[in-house]
Amino acid sequence: MLCKSADERSLLMVLQGYSGEEPSWAVPGGSIEPGETLAQAAIREVKEETGLEVRTVHPYAVVEGVKEYGAYRVHYFQADVMGGEAEAGDLDGLIHRVAWVPADRLPDLRFSHEDQRQVLMEFMGVS
């Protein structure tokens, strides 16, 4: 889920990593549960991972590829934050921190999924 700050200079991101691995950055997201639409899953994942309530605005991008574990497809939605308190929360203990990351930091961050970098930089207008 892609959420800009009120001044549109920062992006909502989570610092995540399993025990024993170096944490890295990603936008909130995850898998679809039975009976959910893509948008419903995105809204639920943001709430679970960040404590924030969002409203989807519109689909932004779809990225497909193949990694060592198989094929994947990621749907990105642009959203507005409607309320809640930003705090790391995840049943798996994966999320360490929630932050509004300035767009100019995107080129230098360690990403959980490297293929997110270009999508996020384009979304935030970073060249």
Question: What's the CATH number where 108 sits?
Answer: 3.90.79.10
Look at 34-43, 67-76, 117-126 and tell me which has the smallest mean pLDDT: 67-76
- pLDDT of 57 higher than 80: no
From the CB of residue 14, how many other CB atoms can be counted at a distance below 10 Å? 25
* pLDDT reported for residue 14: 96
- The pair of structure tokens assigned to 109 is 């961050």
In the chain, how many domains are there? 1
Q: How confident is the model at residue 76 (pLDDT cuts 50, 70, 90)?
A: very high
Name the pLDDT band for 127 (thresholds 50, 70, 90): confident
Quote the percentage of the chain above a pLDDT of 90.
76
Domain that holds residue 119: 2-124
Per-residue pLDDT at 68: 85
Place of tokens 């409607």: 82
Answer for the pair 103, 11: CB distance below 8 angstroms, yes or no.
yes
- The full length of the chain comes to 127
Q: pLDDT band at residue 113, thresholds of 50, 70 and 90? A: confident
Residue 33 is given by DSSP the state: P
Task: Please tell me the predicted confidence (pLDDT) of residue 91.
Answer: 67
Which residues on neighbouring strands pair with residue 125, listed in sequence order? none
The amino acid at residue 93 is: G
- Choose among 77, 99, 70, 101: nearest CA to 87: 99
Mean pLDDT of the chain: 93
For the chain, the 3-state helix, strand and coil shares in percent, each to the nearest 5, are 20, 40, 35
Question: DSSP H helical segments within 20-115, as ranges?
Answer: 38-50
